[in-house]
Chain A
Amino acid sequence: MSYLCLENLVKTFNKTEVVKKLNLEIKQGELVSFLGPSGCGKTTTLNMIAGFTEVDEGKIVVDGKPVHLLPPNKREMGMVFQNYALFPHMTVFDNVAYGLKLSKIGKSETQRRVLEALEMVRLSGYEKRYPKELSGGQQQRVSLARALVIKPKLLLLDEPLSNLDAKLRQEMREEIVEIQKNVGITTIFVTHDQEEALAISDRIAVMYEGRIEQADSPVSIYNHPKTDFVSRFIGEVNQIQGKVTEILGTHQSKLNFYGNEQIVAVNAMKNAEMDFFIRPENIQISLVETNDRNIGFKAKVERKMFLGAKTRYILKAQNKHLIADISNVVLNSNLIHEGSSVYAAWKPEHLLPSRNVR
């Protein structure tokens, strides 16, 4: 039984459909990320859930009750904004207490819950400070406490970490997940940072041009992308082409890549050209020819970039570029120079078939 249900949501701004018949179901306690490039409709969708943007068509159902016609102040959702959106004229205590005061909760109860919420975000003792006296990370924590203290039905996070510096961002995201799991609140996390989404989500909804391309666990999204957009958007990919030389059975075909043949688990038609994606970390290189299960072909190292734990090689084979990321533990990068000839290889199971039929 899903807790939040988005049914055929449509939003149009100035005759352009920003959200196109979007459907999604979220279970209670789940943390789902909306991930996509800017303009994909993720923030618009979030604003429709919060009630700041009117829904043109479709339904939003929370816990069995439709909410899409309610004004934002009746939806009981907690939102954390990108720029914190703290009330600058109120102290930290008053910021967090604001929602409780509106719901006419007694003074001692308010006091108790505010202090509890501040303790949860590790800001005890900051009650009397004003927002401008706090750092960005602290402000975002106040914002989180303010959203959670009213015990909302949903927690909505609108790119909450994008104004923080890299190190703090990582700390904060772990803290958010920890709090989210402890409270057990159903959460939507909007981000354009795929690493962030992969790290914290139970599921990721990858969005593109107003639609959800795929909603799946981080592992599935990364290893089994269902659309070309997801393949390209999540992680990095090389695009390669192969020609089908022989059909060996259902879901078993022999393909020719760069003059070498490899058996791949795909349905194909003989002599068809097929596109595949392969991630840079799944390409291996060596100075000698590899065994037969992995396709091996000659390539030239055009450029080499040392990236710390790994080295990135830009290879050229048959006039096409390939990017290979090799761990420096596996292969000493000093052995390979720009201009060297190497053998590149991949395992057939690492090929991600493209949906583009050619």
Chain B
Amino acid sequence: MKKRLPKIGFHFFCTIIYVFLLAPIVVVLMSSLTATDYIVFPPKGLTLRWYVELVNHPEFMQSFMLSVFVALGTSLISTAIGTLTSIAIVRHQFKGKTAIVQLVGSPLLIPSVVFGVALLQFYSWIGLAASPAALIIGHIILTIPFVMRLVVASLVGFDRSIEQAAMNLGAGKFRVFFQITLPIIKSGVIAGAIFSFITSFDDLTVALFIVSTDVVTLPVRIFTYMQYQYDPIITSVSSIMILLTIVLMIIIERVLGVGKVFASKNQ
């Protein structure tokens, strides 16, 4: 009896957490099936009408493609820069190291609204117009801290004699990096890439300051659309995003295992 009670409490607690996390997703998914012209939960009637309706809104598709492009670019570049910076920081002592660590980590501390305003001013000063490149640069700055957190974690406790062993067997510096170092910190690097992708894909605050009428990311598109209309097409777009994320997660799980991706140390 003594042991039972805490166990029941634990299960109750877990259930509450799951409900709290999953309920909004379920609500969105279900209300996208409503037959009404307005968003309602629980849905009235059952139809895929709002998914078909998307055909009449090519701007959502455009924005989706742009967001994917920006997120991919951000993820690729920021993972590359973040990984190399992490290696420098973990393994070498040099002048101004603390300054670099603080500088690179600062986007985590600055409110993204402030960061957005700063970027807007900076871009207009150097004359950079709203473009996918402008978005990617902004997002790289935003996501590098995430990449570094994860890669640094997988580098700490990295046994460097493994690299020495490879050198000893005849491998040059590049070989050692690509055949030994990178595969061993792979989980941290991939987790960093996924985080950057999601952060970039999801970003509204910073993008709001950079977008123009013809360069609009998906979150900004949804946001502006909702200011004028409030029909279930929003929920169908959101549902597609959710389903895509789930597919992404399943792929990662199949390829690597989520546990492995988020484990900080290689075993």
Q: Identify the A interface with B (CB < 8 A).
A: 50-52, 71-79, 81-83, 85-89, 98-99, 102-103, 132, 143, 146-147, 150
B167 contact set on A, CB distance < 8 A: 51-52, 71-73
22 intermolecular pairs with C-beta atoms under 8 Å apart = A50-B168, A72-B167, A73-B167, A73-B169, A73-B170, A73-B171, A75-B168, A77-B168, A79-B165, A79-B168, A81-B161, A81-B165, A85-B159, A86-B165, A87-B165, A87-B166, A98-B166, A102-B170, A102-B171, A102-B175, A146-B169, A147-B168
Residues of B within 8 A of A143 (CB): 165
In contact, B168 and A72 (Cβ under 8 angstroms): yes
Measured in the bound complex, the distance between the Cα atoms of B165 and A102 in whole Å is 13
- Measured CB to CB, the nearest residue on chain B to A72 is B167
How many angstroms between the C-alpha atoms of A83 and B165 in the bound complex? 11
Chain B residues near A50 (CB-CB < 8 A): 164, 168
Alpha-carbon separation in the docked complex, A89 to B171 (Å): 16
At the interface, yes or no: B213 with Cβ under 8 Å from chain A?
A: no
B238 at the interface (CB under 8 A from A): no
A250 CA / B170 CA spacing, docked (Å): 58
* Interface of B (DSSP majority class): helix
Contact partners of A81 in chain B: CB under 8 A:
161, 164-165
A157 shortest CB reach to chain B, Å: 12
Q: How far is the CA of A147 from the CA of B168 in the complex (A)?
A: 9
The reply to whether B166 and A83 form a contact with Cβ atoms under 8 Å apart is no
Q: Which residues of B contact A89 (CB under 8 A)?
A: 183-184, 186, 266
Query: Which A residues are in CB contact (< 8 Å) with B159?
Result: 83, 85
Q: Is the CB of A52 within 8 A of B162?
A: no
Min CB gap A126→B, angstroms? 18
Does B58 interact with chain A (Cβ within 8 Å)? no
**Residue contact A88 to B164, C-beta cutoff 8 Å:** no
* A98 pairs with B161, CB closer than 8 A: no
> How many A-B pairs with Cβ below 8 Å?
68
* Bound complex: CA A76 to CA B168 (Å): 7
Q: How far is the CA of A75 from the CA of B183 in the complex (A)?
A: 25
A132 to B170, Cβ gap below 8 A? no
* B175 CB contacts on chain A under 8 angstroms: 102
A83 near B161 with CB under 8 A, answer yes
Cβ B169 vs Cβ A99 within 8 A: yes
The answer to whether B267 touches A98, judged by C-beta atoms less than 8 angstroms apart, is no
> Known contacts A85-B161, A88-B266: does B170 contact A103 (CB below 8 Å)?
yes
**Chain B: CB-nearest residue to A81:** B161
Q: Are the CB atoms of A73 and B162 closer together than 8 Å?
A: no
The 5 tightest CB contacts between A and B, nearest first, are A99-B169, A85-B161, A85-B165, A102-B170, A72-B167
B172: A residues at CB distance < 8 A: 71, 73
* Smallest beta-carbon distance B179→chain A, Å: 8
- Report how far A71 CA is from B164 CA in the complex, Å: 11
Interface mask (B206-237 → A, CB under 8 Å = 1, otherwise 0): 00000000000000000000000000000000
Evaluate contact between A85 and B164: CB separation under 8 angstroms: yes
Q: In the bound complex, how far is the Cα of B171 from the Cα of A150, in angstroms?
A: 13
**Residues of chain A lying within 8 A (CB to CB) of residue B266:** 88-89
A102 contacts B183, CB within 8 Å?
A: no
B198 at the interface (CB under 8 A from A): no
Q: Is the CB of A150 within 8 A of B169?
A: yes
Asked if B184 and A98 make an inter-chain contact with CB atoms under 8 angstroms apart, the answer reads no
Query: Are the CB atoms of A73 and B168 closer together than 8 Å?
Result: yes
* B134 is an interface residue with CB less than 8 A from chain A: no
B77 within 8 A of A: no
A75, A78, A85, A86 interface centre (most CB from chain B within 10 Å): A85
Assess whether A72 is in contact with B162, with CB atoms less than 8 Å apart. no
Task: Tell me which residues from 243 to 267 in chain B have a Cβ below 8 Å from any Cβ of chain A.
Answer: 266-267
The residue from B161, B162, B170, B184 contacting A150, defined by CB atoms under 8 A apart:
B170
B89 at the interface (CB under 8 A from A): no
B260 to chain A, nearest CB (A): 12
A51 CA to B161 CA in the complex, in Å? 13
Q: How far is the CA of A85 from the CA of B175 in the complex (A)?
A: 17
Q: How far is the CA of A77 from the CA of B168 in the complex (A)?
A: 6
